[in-house]
């Protein structure tokens, strides 16, 4: 009899974590608060004006002999809101205190931008630094209640070989597609998600408005990403020719390799999407 009671107790204890997980999942499915957000880093980019001068003299300055350095940056953006229905655009929630922090690390407060959006960049904010391998928590506090999303194991930079030719930049015809291959991943491991953004670069190093991006732009698109991440894990990436509309123009091709996380606390919708990653950057000059 004692053995039977012991066996039953052991069986019950082994099922307890599963029951807790099911309860948590059920709570998250029913939760009406949702969070989407990104923590993205870009490295310092050095553009050789002397190398570029061999193609188009004076592109980056009158002497064409300097190196133009674009500083590294890290940026965090969070949307915190409530949802109504499966496919409706969530409504933003204002007045929350939103922070980002690596587990056991220093928290960084995000500024409220309105309509449920909160953000911070590393410009003038030394504490906002991207840490590969860290587990990041996105936390919104409002009315004494905390809502927590989490991304585990923030990825290391994925180097794109095609971005780093001996000349230091790629040359393509304007309005022509650019394709490149991602780094191979070990068997039985998922590839990180990959997002591309293309921006023009002026002679002074100022970045213009993106000419192309496949990064989700709205909270609803982020939520849809949770169900359909496959297209962003392809081994070969093609940037359409429309990303390079002008000839004799310099563009930055920013490739972000990111890991996706989601809701951590019971009171946050299961479909919440949080992304953390860091970029490799290629310089493209069009003919």
Q: What is the DSSP letter of 270?
A: T
pTM for the model: 0.87
Residue % of the chain over a pLDDT of 90: 73
Whole-Å CA distances, 64 to 59, 196, 208, 284: 7, 29, 21, 17
Q: Max CA-CA distance within the chain?
A: 92
How confident is residue 54, by pLDDT bands cut at 50, 70 and 90? Answer: very low
For the stretch 230-265, pLDDT in tens is: 999 999 999 999 999 999 999 999 999 999 999 999
With 90 as the cut, is the pLDDT of residue 174 above it? yes
- pLDDT of 278 strictly over 70: yes
pLDDT digits (tens, 9 = 90+) for 189-217: 889 999 999 999 988 888 999 999 999 99
User: pLDDT per residue over 75-88, tens digit each?
Assistant: 999 999 998 876 67
The H helix count followed by the E strand count for the chain is 3, 18
Task: Give 137's strand partners.
Answer: 101, 150
205: left (phi over 0), alpha (psi -120 to 50) or beta: left
Beta strand pairing status for 193-201 and 250-263?
antiparallel
What six digits make up the tokens of 226?
């949770």
User: Helix, strand, or coil here: 242?
Assistant: helix
């Amino acid at each position: 009899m004692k053995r039977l009671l012991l066996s039953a107790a052991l069986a019950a204890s082994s099922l307890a974590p599963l029951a807790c997980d099911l309860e948590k999942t059920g709570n998250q499915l029913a939760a009406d608060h949702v969070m989407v957000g990104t923590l993205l880093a870009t490295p310092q980019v050095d553009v050789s004006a002397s190398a570029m001068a061999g193609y188009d003299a004076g592109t980056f300055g009158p002497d064409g002999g300097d190196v133009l350095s674009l500083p590294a940056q890290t940026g965090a953006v969070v949307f915190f809101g409530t949802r109504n229905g499966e496919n409706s655009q969530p409504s933003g929630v204002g007045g929350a205190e939103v922070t980002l922090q690596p587990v056991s690390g220093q928290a960084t407060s995000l500024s409220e931008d309105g309509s449920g959006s909160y953000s911070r960049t590393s410009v003038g904010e030394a504490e906002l630094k991207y840490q590969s391998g860290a587990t990041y928590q996105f936390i919104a506090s409002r009315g004494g209640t905390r809502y927590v999303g989490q991304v585990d194991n923030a990825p290391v930079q994925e180097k794109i070989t095609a971005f780093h030719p001996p000349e230091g930049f790629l040359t393509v015809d304007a309005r022509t597609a650019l394709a490149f291959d991602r780094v191979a991943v070990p068997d039985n491991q998922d590839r990180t998600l990959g997002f591309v953004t293309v921006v023009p670069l002026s002679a002074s190093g100022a970045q213009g408005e993106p000419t192309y991006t496949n990064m989700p732009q709205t909270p609803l698109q982020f939520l849809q990403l949770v169900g359909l991440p496959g297209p962003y894990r392809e081994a070969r990436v093609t940037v359409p020719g429309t990303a390079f509309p002008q000839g004799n123009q310099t563009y930055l091709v920013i490739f972000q390799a990111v890991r996706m996380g989601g809701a951590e606390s019971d009171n946050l919708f299961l479909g919440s999407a949080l992304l953390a990653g860091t970029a490799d950057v290629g310089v493209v000059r069009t003919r």
